C-alpha cells in the first residue's frame, strides 16, 4: 500500500481533479457558458468523434465547389479508440456528447491517479520527495492544454494509455508496455511514436544485445499493432485500407526547421501588438519548451548525463512527441492541442527543485485558464 494508506493514494488525485475542474469551470463561466452543458466542451473535432461513435467511419467524394473538390472527404483522419468508448456509453442510453464528456472526465481523473501512483504510490520506489510529488501532481492538473483533457477530445484517453506504456516500460515489462502503446496508437496520432520510443528505450538497457533486441522488438511490434488495428476498423466501415492517410493528406504537412517553427509560434509574445489572452497559445508553446528543456536537461545533469530507466523512456517520449509537430509544421490551430499529449512529462518533473516546480505549476495554471477562456469563447478549436 502507498504511503499514507488508501486515503493517501486516492485523495490527492481527487483533489487535483477538483482543482482542474475548478480552473476550467471558472474560465467557462467567464466566457459566458455553462460548464455543466456538454455542448460547452465541444469544438470542431468533437463533431467527428461523436459522428464516429454513432454512425462509424464515412468517406466519399468531396462536395462540388469545395476547396477539396476531386478528392475524398470523410472522418477517417480521427482515430477510433475514443469514439468506441463513447459508443459503449451511448448504447446505455446516454446522449453522445454527454457520454463523450463523461469518458474524458473519467480518464482525466485516471491519468492523475496514475501519475500519483508513479510518483508517491506503489510504483514510486520512494525516489521522489512527497512534497515535490504533490507539486508535480498540481502541475498535471493544469498541464498545458488541460482543457482538451476534459473536453470532447481523445487526449485524456490517450494520456492514460501513454502513461501506462511508459510506466510499464520503466518497470521492465515490454509486453505490457507494448499493449498500452497499441492502445495509445489506436486513440491519437502521437501514439504512433510509442513503437520507436519503446524499441529504442529497451535497446538502451544494460545486458546482452540479443536479450535487449528481443525485448525491444516485442514492445515495439505490439505497440505498432495499434496502427494496424486503426486501418482494420476503418476498412470495415469504408472498404478502404488507407482511409486514414487519404483524409490526412488534406493537411499538407511538410518538413521544416523546428527552431523556425518554434520561433514563429512564440514570436507574438515579444512583438507588438500584444493582445492579452489571445496570446495564450503562444505562451503555452513557450512554457512547454521550457518544461521539456528543464526536465529532460535536468534529468541528464542530475544523472551526470546518464538517465535512469524511467528518465530514459519518458525523456525519449517527450523529446520525440514535442519535436514532431514542430518538424512537420503542425497547423497553427492544432499545436496547442497536441502539446497536451506531453502529459507523461510530469513523471520527470518531481526531480526538479521545488521552487522551479512550483513556478512551472503557477505559470501553467494561468496559461490553462487563459487557453480555456479562448476555448469556451470559441476563439480556438
Instruction: Report, as an integer, the average pLDDT of 199-209.
Output: 92
Residue 333 to residue 312: CA distance in whole angstroms: 31
Residue 30 CB contacts under 8 Å (≥ 6 apart), including other chains? 373, 376
CB 349 within 8 A of CB 297: no
pLDDT greater than 80 at residue 252: no
Residue 234, SS3 per DSSP: helix
pLDDT at 367: 96
Domain ranges across the chain: 5-25+36-60+74-377
Instruction: Report, as an integer, the average pLDDT of 103-111.
Output: 98
CB 242 within 8 A of CB 231: yes
pTM value surpassing 0.85: yes
pLDDT greater than 60 at residue 360: yes
pLDDT greater than 60 at residue 181: yes
Per-residue confidence band for 206, with pLDDT thresholds at 50, 70 and 90: confident
Apex CA 365: angle with CA 360 and CA 369, to 5°? 150
pLDDT at 277: 72
pLDDT greater than 80 at residue 299: no
Counting Cα atoms < 13 Å in the Cβ hemisphere of 205 gives: 23
pLDDT greater than 90 at residue 334: no
pLDDT greater than 50 at residue 1: no
pLDDT greater than 70 at residue 304: no
pLDDT at 218: 97
Percent over 70 (pLDDT), the chain: 92
Per-residue confidence band for 371, with pLDDT thresholds at 50, 70 and 90: very high
- The candidate with the shortest Cα–Cα distance to 164, out of 173, 154, 155, 151, is 173
- Segment 33-59, tens digit of pLDDT: 999 999 999 988 899 999 999 999 999
DSSP type of residue 306: -
pLDDT at 123: 73
- The candidate with the shortest Cα–Cα distance to 212, out of 225, 222, 197, 199, is 199
Measure CA 322 to chain center.
11
pLDDT at 70: 76
Q: Is the dihedral of CA 214, 217, 220, 224 positive or negative?
A: negative
pLDDT greater than 50 at residue 259: yes
pLDDT greater than 80 at residue 23: yes
pLDDT greater than 70 at residue 126: no
Taking each continuous run of H as one helix and of E as one strand, the counts in the chain are: 17, 2
Q: Please report where in the chains the cell 492523475 appears, as a residue.
A: 112
pLDDT at 59: 92
DSSP type of residue 63: P
Per-residue confidence band for 331, with pLDDT thresholds at 50, 70 and 90: low
Per-residue confidence band for 2, with pLDDT thresholds at 50, 70 and 90: very low
Instruction: Report, as an integer, the average pLDDT of 235-239.
Output: 94
- The candidate with the shortest Cα–Cα distance to 369, out of 82, 60, 144, is 144
pLDDT at 21: 98
* Mean pLDDT for the chain overall: 90
Amino acid at each position: 500500500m502507498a504511503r499514507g494508506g488508501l486515503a493517501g493514494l486516492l485523495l490527492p488525485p481527487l483533489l487535483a481533479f477538483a482543482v482542474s475542474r475548478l480552473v476550467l469551470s471558472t474560465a467557462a463561466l467567464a466566457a459566458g457558458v455553462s460548464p455543466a452543458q456538454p455542448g460547452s466542451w465541444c469544438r470542431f473535432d468533437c463533431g467527428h468523434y461523436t459522428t464516429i461513435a454513432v454512425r462509424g467511419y464515412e468517406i466519399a467524394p468531396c462536395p462540388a465547389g469545395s476547396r477539396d473538390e476531386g478528392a475524398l472527404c470523410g472522418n477517417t483522419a480521427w482515430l477510433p479508440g475514443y469514439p468506441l468508448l463513447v459508443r459503449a456509453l451511448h448504447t446505455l442510453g446516454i446522449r453522445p456528447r454527454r457520454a463523450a464528456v463523461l469518458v474524458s472526465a473519467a480518464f482525466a481523473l485516471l491519468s492523475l491517479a496514475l501519475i500519483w501512483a508513479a510518483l508517491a504510490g506503489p510504483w514510486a520506489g520512494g525516489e521522489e520527495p512527497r512534497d515535490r510529488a504533490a507539486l508535480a501532481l498540481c502541475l498535471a492538473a493544469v498541464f498545458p492544454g488541460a482543457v482538451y483533457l476534459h473536453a470532447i477530445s481523445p487526449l485524456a484517453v490517450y494520456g492514460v494509455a501513454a502513461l501506462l506504456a511508459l510506466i510499464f516500460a520503466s518497470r521492465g515489462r515490454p509486453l505490457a508496455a507494448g499493449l498500452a502503446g497499441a492502445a495509445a496508437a489506436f486513440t491519437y496520432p502521437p501514439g504512433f511514436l510509442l513503437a520507436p520510443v519503446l524499441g529504442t528505450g529497451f535497446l538502451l538497457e544494460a545486458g546482452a544485445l540479443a536479450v535487449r533486441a528481443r525485448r525491444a522488438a516485442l514492445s515495439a511490434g505490439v505497440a505498432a499493432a495499434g496502427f494496424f488495428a486503426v486501418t482494420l476498423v476503418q476498412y470495415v466501415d469504408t472498404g478502404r485500407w488507407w482511409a486514414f492517410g487519404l483524409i490526412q493528406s488534406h493537411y499538407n504537412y511538410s518538413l521544416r526547421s523546428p527552431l523556425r517553427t518554434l520561433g514563429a509560434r512564440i514570436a507574438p509574445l515579444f512583438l507588438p501588438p500584444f493582445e492579452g489572452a489571445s496570446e495564450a497559445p503562444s505562451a503555452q508553446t513557450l512554457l512547454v519548451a521550457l518544461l521539456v528543456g528543464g526536465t529532460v536537461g535536468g534529468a541528464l545533469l542530475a544523472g551526470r548525463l546518464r538517465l535512469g530507466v524511467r528518465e530514459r523512456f519518458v525523456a525519449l517520449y517527450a523529446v520525440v512527441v514535442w519535436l514532431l509537430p514542430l518538424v512537420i509544421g503542425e497547423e497553427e490551430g492544432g499545436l496547442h492541442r497536441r502539446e497536451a499529449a506531453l502529459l507523461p512529462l510530469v513523471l520527470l518533473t518531481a526531480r526538479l527543485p521545488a521552487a522551479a516546480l512550483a513556478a512551472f505549476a503557477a505559470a501553467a495554471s494561468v496559461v490553462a485558464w487563459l487557453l480555456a477562456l479562448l476555448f469556451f469563447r470559441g476563439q480556438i478549436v
